[in-house]
Amino acid sequence: MSSLTSPPPCPLPPVPFPSPLPSVDTPSLILSLPRVHANLTLMRSTIAELGVDLRPHVKTHKCVELAELCIRKQPLSDDPFPGGGATGLCFQVLDELQPCLDSIDMFSPLNHGNPKLPGNKLDFFLTSQVLHPPKLRRLFELASAHEETTLISVMVDAVSNLETLAELSASHKTNLGVFVEVNVGQNRTGLPVTDDTLSTIVEMAEKIEKAPYLTYRGLHAYQGVLQHTRDSELRAAEIKSAVDLARTARDALAEAGLPPPVVTGAGTASYHEEARLGVHNEVQPGSFMLMDTDYGDNRKRADDEAPDFQHALWIHSSVMSTAMDERKVIIDAGSKAVDLVSGVPSFTDQADNWGMNGVRKDESVEFSSGGDEHGILTLKGGEYDQEKVVGADSGTVRLLPRHIDPQMNMHDRILVIEEEGSNVVTKAWNVHGRGPGF
């Protein structure tokens, strides 16, 4: 066997703080903290008007500092921002959950906990089924280690999985929250809501109630596909269909004497309408905090009162070549740096006027992939001004991400601008939960 050891990963390029953007190496993610604050403030007031609870999804950003901002209720001694006021947080995978638990000293029950839980515990919900033995082992290790401060919840859609959770929670003497998941149109996981399955939904709630170390949290009813339905009327119809199914499941449980304490679901494109329809008492938007052009392209009805959120993050890239022709600018953001699964990122001009819901993305410049390490910006129209793209004094460009969740997953850190209108980064936050999804 070889005695060679694997070398450590290549360190990230150092960034002395403060650093003007032209001096920051590329490609990098840049975050405007004032715009994050504005988005959280707007969502907090909107949620208060709707009369539901907010549980933002950490899979959007995968960053502990941003998670803390979401569930902060009051200013900190060294930070006057009062926070997003959320009841709890959602996580899609354990790799997103564990960094928040490892940083538990950043959270306090009084300022970050759920007042509806005993002792104002932190309320962390893993919106996944956990079946694989290594994941179950890790889940209960985390739940046991943090039981005094945090209630960790999962969701189930099979009696066998529920029975496993009941056995493990008893053997570990560790409490675990459990939601019953129903399929309201995502067609991915969750029990179908039909006359034939309502008895199973009720049976699972009964089993949760009877298990000594499980806590019956309620129903999980999320429809993610409709988040990207562009047409507002069609999206409204899909929302109504999803809510009708959630209502049927909720009413069946209530008739059996097991009314779900929480009915949770919804995303950035549907939370407002789903809350107004009166079944969900908790919503799970995540992308609103940073935004992307996919959500920005959704059309709204004239009577839609849902607020618009600002883009708070962009990809900072630099020019590699303008030699090919006057219509092309080659940059260093290729498929390793920008997510292309949901479409291409959008160019936005060098002036700090990129704004609400992507409406100020510059349609006269088009991004296409040039390979792993190259992006191609093509100037469209009759007159070509490379300086408009390049930025005469910096040789850098800004790109708005198409889909924020996988975009964040491609980078190890976020560089933060703390003053509105500034081009100076003053600190870095790690993207703690990035990876393939362990």
Bridge partners (DSSP) listed for residue 153: 125, 177
Q: How many CB atoms lie within 10 A of CB 120?
A: 17
Residue 422's SS3 state is coil
Between the ranges 374-383, 387-396, 414-423, where is the mean pLDDT highest?
414-423
Of residues 187, 182, 173, 130, the one with CA closest to residue 153: 130
Quote the pLDDT of residue 69. Answer: 98
Q: Which of 67, 70, 99 is nearest to 83 (CA)?
A: 70
**What's the whole-model pTM score?**
0.95
- Report the alpha-carbon distance of residue 359 to residue 395 in Å, rounded: 24
Q: To the nearest whole percent, how much of the chain has pLDDT over 70? A: 94
Distance CA 383, CA 157 (A): 58
Write the pLDDT tens digit of every residue in 237-256: 999 999 999 999 999 999 99
- Polymer length of the chain: 438
How many of the other CB atoms lie within 10 Å of CB of 347? 26
Q: For residue range 390-417, list pLDDT tens digits in order.
A: 654 568 889 999 999 999 999 999 999 9
Mean pLDDT of 98-106: 97
Q: What are phi and psi of 374, to 5 degrees?
A: -130, 140
| Structural domains of the chain sorted by starting position, each given as residue range(s) with its CATH number in brackets | 33-296 (3.20.20.10), 313-430 (2.40.37.20)
Residue 387 has a pLDDT of: 67
Torsion angle defined by CA atoms of residues 51, 55, 61 and 64, in that order, rounded to the nearest 10 degrees: 120
pLDDT tens digits for range 17-65:
999 998 999 999 999 999 999 999 999 999 999 999 999 999 999 999 9
Long-range contacts, stretch 405-409, CB < 8 angstroms, 24+ apart: 405/59, 405/60, 405/286, 405/287, 406/339, 406/341, 406/342, 407/29, 407/292, 407/315, 407/338, 407/339, 408/29, 408/60, 408/61, 408/62, 408/63, 408/290, 408/434, 409/62, 409/339, 409/434, 409/435
Integer Cα distance of 337 and 381 in angstroms: 27
The CA distance from 91 to 145, in Å, is: 18
Q: Is 383 helix (H, G, I), strand (E, B) or coil?
A: coil
